[in-house]
Structure 1
Amino acid sequence: MDTNGIHIEQRVAQLEALNQQRLNRARLVLTKPGLKVFDLIAPLLHFNHPDLPGYVGGSCPAGIQNYQLPASDRKLLAEWEHFRPELVEDGDILGVFCMGSTASLGQCCDSDLDVWVIYDSQLNAQQRMMLEQKCQKITDWSAQLGIEANFFLVDPEQFIRSHRQVITKDNCGSTQNWLLLDEFYRSCVRLAGCNLLWFLVPVDCEEQYSEYVAALFEDEQLEHKAWVDLGGIARVPAEEYFGAALWQLYKGIDSPFKAVLKTLLLESYSHQYPNTRLLCHEFKQRWMSGCCDPMGLDSYRLVLDHVSKYLRGQNDLLRLDLARRCFYLKTCMVLSQPVEKVNWQVVAMRQLLADWNWDPDLLSELDRRESWKVEHVKRAYREVLEALMVGFRKLIEFARRNQISEAINPEDIGVLSRKLYASFEMTTSKVELINPNIAPSLYEPVITLVQVPEGRSVAAGWYLYKTPLRASSMIGAKHQKHADHLSRLIAWAYFNGIINPSTEIHLHAPGSHICIDSVRRMVRDLASAMPVKFAPTRKEELSKPSEIRQLMLFVNLSDPRLPTDIKIPMAHTDESFDVFSAGQDMVNLVQSVDMLYLSSWNEIHSYHFSGNEAILDCMVMLTSKMHKQANIPMRSDVFCYSHQGELAIGQQVRQVLLDSMTMRLDRTGSGSDYRMFTLADERFALFFERRSVYKHKLENPVDFYRHISHNKLGGRDRAASETTESVAPTIVENHASEGLVQFFFEHDADGFNIYVVDEANQVELYEHFKGSKEELVQSVNRFYSSSKQRQPDDDDEQKINFNLPQFYEIVERNGSKHILPYGAAGRVSQSVNL
């Protein structure tokens, strides 16, 4: 049999030549440690020896089919002097491939190695687990050399059956099965083992892929053991685009330049639907036609060309310019200066720059990326984010036009949308992080904080300048950030790496009680309590409502001047002294509280409370953010900046904080509690009920008891005891989380009940629902993802709503009710975590 008029032997030779060309190109770009890892991946998978990295005892799968150890690799293995290569027969690994940017124009010095390990489908669960452990050990060894190598295990039979195998390090779930295969086929480099059958099937035969492959073997020109098959790609289902777009936005959090290109590619694919021309087909058609230009087969150049053609067709010159800049920045080249080592990448990139006719100043600015500071990064971040949002909106419109339901399961879409919500959705309290791997450091050695009072020509609040407080420096200087209160401005500067304790800070706040020493102390306290970088959010956390992980209260950052007659005891343990009602004049010594917290979704929120009731307002806001099943924050700190009574104030605020969180999270079933306060000469109570926390001013002693008797009955809300108990089980109310929409499914004899908890924790019950639960979930997701888009505002902030509903199931086990993420009950996930 021939393929497009070429005999099968010629096609195999052509494939070998392509692979060797890619191997050579990858090696020319890799660093010395990277080259060592690259060349040892196959030998370390092939052999399972105690002296080698990646060794797993017992019957760990090893051996790569059709693999012979090259002489060059024997020299590398000589580093382990006690190891002697032995013959390995009938390998359990069918093929080992690198994919992604490897061997392409997009490969740079810090590119990771994404390795697909295709194994024999006959391996049992124990063997697969051992092979996974082996790969993880090789990953750990690579990390010691400064190289990130990620291994993805692939069962070819399961892959062909479902294309739903989870094979990415970040668990993309079911969001881009076909599109991932599209990228793999156009970019793969075979390190060892069998060749891929896909390369022998002409593009116009992919509709009959299985029949064509069967005919190849019937002619007996191919041996089964020499080939591995992951199936063909006739067309990408429309349902996949929405999930894939979410996933690229997710990836964009950490790799913004690459995410722009991939999101634009998805957008162009959807624009062509239903006649989408996949890049893997474009690549294979060129290759089969005898294309000899390596750039014509370069996987990253293919993306750029495809995206550029689409954007020119849309007359979208702004995003075309951005796509080119993102492409250049992804390569990490510096071409505005003489290049010490001119390799094939430099030659190819210079040709592109000549075609683009860039201004030399633009090229110089891009080449200074390593030294970009806040003004450059803010501009780049906004451009990238806006491009991602435009692409996402177009894909949502595509989904609505085609009336498709999302192909990803509800648990996956919930995790992805919550991650995007946490990273991109801006609320009034959220501290925006502007540097997702755009520049190495935004640190400034000197900054000035300026307060503008009400009634001026510019908005009141606080402004940050990266200049000293001198007229010569400040005149004409542009502020870098504005915030309504000081603590949020400091938090923004700290978490974006602009300031740290070594920064020289100046303050201009005429008429304010804030002093420079307190500001500097706050920065030191932030640095001591919370690192700038924190661990990535785990999928398990995103499957649950957001919780407060770390909490900081800053008391009296603006310290009021106290009456001179107040005698504050030296010992902060003096319980007779009340900082909330001190001295003969009953003065409340707590006049401002600034709250900052890190959530389990890695959001940073900042709140400011001032006035006589600041402590109550703070406790109401804080505990309202805690659902009843939440955990106490792993760390809570209280910092006080009062000139007098710092220890006493800090201690008593800390006790109020502990009491409030304890009462809110009480799970004994009492349902409510309260705490009394005297603030100055006024009496208040904080009431902690199942679904709400609120303060109430008590006009006289009788008012308190009246409030208790009218609103409580046996320790529960009267409303709850009379109506809510029949509407929502306690476990639902305990799981309610303010600001989120949640759906809880509970089976009964006549179908299932649905409890819907809205953003304000109000519950509605829909009984005896008999329809399809899956269809309901998909329709709700479609509604929220399409109809809740916000219109652009004057500040050009985000327009997309990522706060999609959360879905749960109520199950009964061992006589008690439990809540599980929807889809987790009654099924075992087929995901493989690698």
Structure 2
Amino acid sequence: MTTSAPILLGSPGEDISKKDLHKVMQRFINLNQVRLQRIQEFLLPRQRTFLNLLPLLFHQNHPLLPGFISSDTIAGIPNYTPSNSTILLAKSFSKHFTYKRRALREYPIQGIYLMGSVSSIAFTKNSDIDIWLCHDHGLLKEEINELQAKATAIEKWAESLDLEVHFFLVDSEEFIQGASSPLSSESSGQTQHYLLLEEFYRTALFIAGRTPLWWLVPPHEEQNYNYYVKHLKEKRFISDHEVIDFGSLEKIPAEEFISATLWHLYKSLSSPYKSLLKLLLMESYASEYPKPQWLCLEVKKAVYQGNFNLNDTDPYVLVYHKVEKYLSSDPDSERINFIRQCFYLKISGALEKQSSIQKHADRDAFIAEIVRRDQWPEAIISNCTKNQAWNIKKASSENDIIIRQLKLCYRMISRFSNSNAYSLQQQDIQLIGRKLKSFLQKSPEKVDIITTRSSIRNKENELSLIESQTTSTRPTWSLFPGEVAEQNPKEIAPFKQDAKSLVELLTWLVINGLYQQKLLLHIQAKLQSFNKVDIHNTLETLRQFLLEHKLGNQTALSAFKQPNRVIANLLLLNLGDIPTVSRKNGMLVISEQSDILSYGPDRENFVHTIDQVSVSSWGEVTTHRFLGLEGLFDCFIATLNQQALSIPIKIESYTPIRGKSIALGVTQLFQKLNQLFVNEKSTDSPRLIVAGESAFYIFQQKDDYLHYWKINNLEALLLELAKPQATFSPAHFNNSTVSSTPIPLLFSFAKENTIQVFYYANARYINLYIIDEKG
């Protein structure tokens, strides 16, 4: 606890003491030192080397120190002299390292500052460390590029110490003018400026160089920031080489709250517990617009008052208290209790298991004091302490709460946008809006991805998948923990229910990280028969398919610049359905030339069910089930009509009887359709004739869309092929379709703008065939 007399700096025209300005500066530096000391306590000894050596690396170029690029890389930090311990660290890299204390002609590195969670109680040795590396205005492009190269090299050195460090090169003059470069790993520079600046002032840790000028503007003059700074400079209370100015927080445009809220909504989809507190902070600030009560001012007020401690000015704690105060008037207790849970999980999870007993005791005491002071319900603590035992049911219920919170925030920011007459036209805002709608909107075929899947600590080793027949025409599937008695599954609540197919349920298992090779599955189906080996093969196929297309990772915002489209398909044939086939002499022989859709004298079709899994460019996963021969054709038509270019498709069948041959035959048919109607770009209008069971099907494009229609017999097929065509329409035949006739051979000779006559003579008569110029 720091207790000192309040400092009151006068307004322009009133008494301003240089001594008081120095005291203010020293108080901020002291607060920085205490925060830095806490960070060092969290780091491993070898990681502490990074922070201790950091300013020296940019003050002097030395070929044996980390990050060296060249002797000409800009270097030099004003008001910096390395300590003896820092020089000793440098000697551990180079025994002959010496530091010469001499004044430089220029100090192009204006300052180094850490920002973000690194200065808070939520920081851990696994947290990112964001660093603002501030440099002179007007540097040459080559100088900036070389400085960036050095920063990147130091990032790689930090990586070898198990630290994730991000440098952001900052020109303070350009920043004041609103430069849009991202300046934090947690923000989008294009969507945030003032909010990023507020976070910087609240969390910044001064490492070396010029001190922030914002420190010296008293809280009561914040709204007159620019005038006050001008006064300090004109009266020579400060000099430019001592301070660095990032600007004021006087006027923030409404669109920044809108864009920042959308950004944090986007981040919440992948890291809900980490991002929701920030999201609610944006909401609380927006509720105070146009005069938000900035948290960084709370820190400044405490410093000027001289009565503050590390925890009361902790950036993360300040956020929590502001959000809790904002939500305290909300009759919906779910929101405030959920934010308390987010805070608890973040703080309690900040300590690793190997941390000292004292560190755990201090952290527990800190949380206990907040719980007591704010009178948290006991259920919150109980729920949080059981976090390590969360299973999919708990994670799913938590996901439901998170989705409700995200929708509330989205509605709030939409109202705020309307009330401030702001149109969401800026590109990055549009992209985030598309991402949110894609994630939050429900559709019958879309597989839900739960936001809390990474929180599942207790994965089930045994699950039951049960099919139920409802009043609808199609059955539904439900997922239960353990082995459930077939006669009464209602005694146990399902993890998930109302899936329209088994594949939808299996896909949900895989995409939410519940599939593991040791998983034991019990399947109860009404009409189908499932082999456990085939199910595990299917799960492994799904895992590889989704992994290949990076599902489970956050989809890049750039993907939302283009309309949503399917980028890959997986077809699973006859899952749980074994085709009944006729055998000759007990044998079933299928070759690459065999027609699996019209096999043998009985014209049997071997494809009974088709389960399609699709991945889209927006990261959506959908499933659709097709039945029978025309279901397969409908699947092909839907797939080919929605793509301008050929997209990957994988077709698998684990049917015990010739499953690979069935998958191969379907794959070859799709490839023919794809080649004829997608890949080939010409003015022709080709036709593909496919035998299906005892009938025939013709595929042809009409009005830029692929269609198919059924022809009942060979005689009708010949009549159909004889119909006039608008353009040259060559006929192609799948595998052995009508191979017992000369028809496929004759059509192979068809030529545009050429009429051809063919005849076939036998002892009794002559068959005459004419193929005209349209095929």
Q: Which amino acid aligns with 2:477?
A: W
Q: Is 2:72 aligned against 1:54?
A: no
- Provide Cα deviations, 1:259-310, integer angstroms capped at 9, x if missing partner: 2111211111221222322222333233323232333322111111111111
- Matched with 2:481 is 466
| Structure 2 CA distance for partners of 1:333 and 1:168, relative to 1, 3 Å | closer
Any residues of structure 2 matched to 1:812-827 within 5 Å, and which?
A: none
Whole-angstrom distance in 1 between the partners of 2:96 and 2:483: 63
Q: Is 2:226 aligned against 1:226?
A: no
Q: Is 2:513 aligned against 1:497?
A: yes
- Matched with 1:451 is 467
Greater shift in the superposed pair: 507-516 or 256-265: 507-516
Whole-angstrom distance in 1 between the partners of 2:688 and 2:526: 38
Q: Is 2:559 aligned against 1:541?
A: yes
> Given that residues 673 and 689 in structure 1 are in contact (C-alpha distance below 8 angstroms), is that contact kept between their aligned partners in structure 2?
no
- Matched with 1:10 is 23
Greater shift in the superposed pair: 353-362 or 254-263: 353-362
- Provide Cα deviations, 1:330-385, integer angstroms capped at 9, x if missing partner: 113499x9982246544332210222444556424312323311011111122122
Among 70, 76, 93, the alignment partner of 1:63 is 76
Among 494, 507, 524, the alignment partner of 1:479 is 494
| Structure 2 CA distance for partners of 1:34 and 1:370, relative to 1, 3 Å | farther
- Provide Cα deviations, 1:388-410, integer angstroms capped at 9, x if missing partner: 2101211111111121234x732
Any residues of structure 2 matched to 1:190-229 within 5 Å, and which?
A: 190-229=206-245
Whole-angstrom distance in 2 between the partners of 1:19 and 1:459: 65
- Matched with 1:642 is 655
Unpaired segments of 5 or more residues in structure 2?
1-7, 731-775
Whole-angstrom distance in 2 between the partners of 1:349 and 1:204: 32
- Provide Cα deviations, 1:135-165, integer angstroms capped at 9, x if missing partner: 2232233233332222222221111112533
Greater shift in the superposed pair: 559-568 or 227-236: 559-568
Whole-angstrom distance in 2 between the partners of 1:673 and 1:552: 27
Among 319, 322, 339, the alignment partner of 1:306 is 322
- Provide Cα deviations, 1:531-588, integer angstroms capped at 9, x if missing partner: 386654344433333444443221111323313347998776531x100111222121
Any residues of structure 2 matched to 1:500-539 within 5 Å, and which?
A: 500-531=516-547, 536-539=554-557
Q: Is 2:388 aligned against 1:370?
A: yes
> Given that residues 165 and 177 in structure 1 are in contact (C-alpha distance below 8 angstroms), is that contact kept between their aligned partners in structure 2?
no
| Structure 2 CA distance for partners of 1:278 and 1:538, relative to 1, 3 Å | same
- Matched with 2:5 is none
Among 28, 34, 42, the alignment partner of 2:55 is 42
Q: Secondary structure at the match of 2:465?
A: strand
Any residues of structure 2 matched to 1:532-681 within 5 Å, and which?
A: 536-565=554-583, 573-575=591-593, 577-626=594-643, 628=644, 630=645, 632-633=647-648, 636-663=649-676, 665-666=678-679, 668-670=681-683, 674-681=687-694
> Given that residues 671 and 715 in structure 1 are in contact (C-alpha distance below 8 angstroms), is that contact kept between their aligned partners in structure 2?
yes
> Given that residues 685 and 728 in structure 2 are in contact (C-alpha distance below 8 angstroms), is that contact kept between their aligned partners in structure 1?
no
Q: Which amino acid aligns with 1:620?
A: I
Any residues of structure 2 matched to 1:281-320 within 5 Å, and which?
A: 281-320=297-336
Q: Which amino acid aligns with 1:17?
A: N
Whole-angstrom distance in 2 between the partners of 1:83 and 1:153: 31
- Matched with 2:373 is 355
Unpaired segments of 5 or more residues in structure 1?
717-834
Whole-angstrom distance in 2 between the partners of 1:146 and 1:485: 44
> Given that residues 433 and 496 in structure 1 are in contact (C-alpha distance below 8 angstroms), is that contact kept between their aligned partners in structure 2?
yes
- Matched with 2:736 is none
Deviation at 1:315, TM superposition (A): 3.2
Greater shift in the superposed pair: 419-428 or 117-126: 419-428
> Given that residues 26 and 103 in structure 1 are in contact (C-alpha distance below 8 angstroms), is that contact kept between their aligned partners in structure 2?
yes
- Matched with 1:793 is none
Q: Which amino acid aligns with 2:508?
A: W
Q: Secondary structure at the match of 1:296?
A: coil
- Matched with 2:155 is 139
Whole-angstrom distance in 2 between the partners of 1:568 and 1:525: 32
- Provide Cα deviations, 1:493-523, integer angstroms capped at 9, x if missing partner: 0111112222111111133133333212211
Among 377, 381, 385, the alignment partner of 2:399 is 381
Deviation at 1:640, TM superposition (A): 0.7
Q: How big is the alpha-carbon RMSD for the aligned residues of Structure 1 and Structure 2?
A: 3.3
Deviation at 1:474, TM superposition (A): 5.5
Whole-angstrom distance in 2 between the partners of 1:42 and 1:691: 64
Kindly tell me the number of residue pairs found equivalent between the two proteins.
705
| Structure 2 CA distance for partners of 1:357 and 1:594, relative to 1, 3 Å | same
> Given that residues 559 and 641 in structure 1 are in contact (C-alpha distance below 8 angstroms), is that contact kept between their aligned partners in structure 2?
no
Deviation at 1:477, TM superposition (A): 1.8
| Structure 2 CA distance for partners of 1:141 and 1:593, relative to 1, 3 Å | farther
| Structure 2 CA distance for partners of 1:395 and 1:538, relative to 1, 3 Å | closer
| Structure 2 CA distance for partners of 1:401 and 1:473, relative to 1, 3 Å | same
Deviation at 1:248, TM superposition (A): 0.4
Bigger relative contact order (CA 8 A; separation at least 6): 1
| Structure 2 CA distance for partners of 1:73 and 1:549, relative to 1, 3 Å | farther
| Structure 2 CA distance for partners of 1:524 and 1:108, relative to 1, 3 Å | same
> Given that residues 547 and 631 in structure 1 are in contact (C-alpha distance below 8 angstroms), is that contact kept between their aligned partners in structure 2?
no
Q: Secondary structure at the match of 1:68?
A: coil
- Matched with 2:268 is 252
Q: Is 2:90 aligned against 1:73?
A: no
| Structure 2 CA distance for partners of 1:475 and 1:417, relative to 1, 3 Å | closer
Whole-angstrom distance in 2 between the partners of 1:41 and 1:472: 67
Among 100, 124, 127, the alignment partner of 1:108 is 124
- Matched with 1:177 is 193
Q: Is 2:358 aligned against 1:341?
A: yes
Q: Which amino acid aligns with 2:369?
A: Q
Deviation at 1:86, TM superposition (A): 4.3
The alignment's TM-score, normalised by the length of structure 1, stands at 0.78
Whole-angstrom distance in 2 between the partners of 1:169 and 1:639: 41
Whole-angstrom distance in 1 between the partners of 2:344 and 2:338: 10
Q: Which amino acid aligns with 1:273?
A: Y
> Given that residues 579 and 652 in structure 1 are in contact (C-alpha distance below 8 angstroms), is that contact kept between their aligned partners in structure 2?
yes
- Matched with 1:741 is none
- Provide Cα deviations, 1:570-621, integer angstroms capped at 9, x if missing partner: 776531x100111222121111111223333332222221122122122123
Greater shift in the superposed pair: 539-548 or 698-707: 698-707
Q: Secondary structure at the match of 2:38?
A: helix
> Given that residues 559 and 643 in structure 1 are in contact (C-alpha distance below 8 angstroms), is that contact kept between their aligned partners in structure 2?
no
- Matched with 1:240 is 256
Deviation at 1:203, TM superposition (A): 3.3
| Structure 2 CA distance for partners of 1:586 and 1:320, relative to 1, 3 Å | same
Q: Which amino acid aligns with 2:688?
A: R
> Given that residues 553 and 594 in structure 1 are in contact (C-alpha distance below 8 angstroms), is that contact kept between their aligned partners in structure 2?
yes
Identity %: 25
Q: Secondary structure at the match of 2:93?
A: coil
Q: Which amino acid aligns with 1:502?
A: K
Q: Greater Rg, structure 1 or structure 2?
A: 2
- Provide Cα deviations, 1:617-648, integer angstroms capped at 9, x if missing partner: 2212322442x2x4633xx4321122222222
- Matched with 2:288 is 272
Q: Secondary structure at the match of 1:697?
A: strand
Deviation at 1:422, TM superposition (A): 4.2
Whole-angstrom distance in 2 between the partners of 1:527 and 1:270: 42
The alignment's TM-score, normalised by the length of structure 2, stands at 0.83
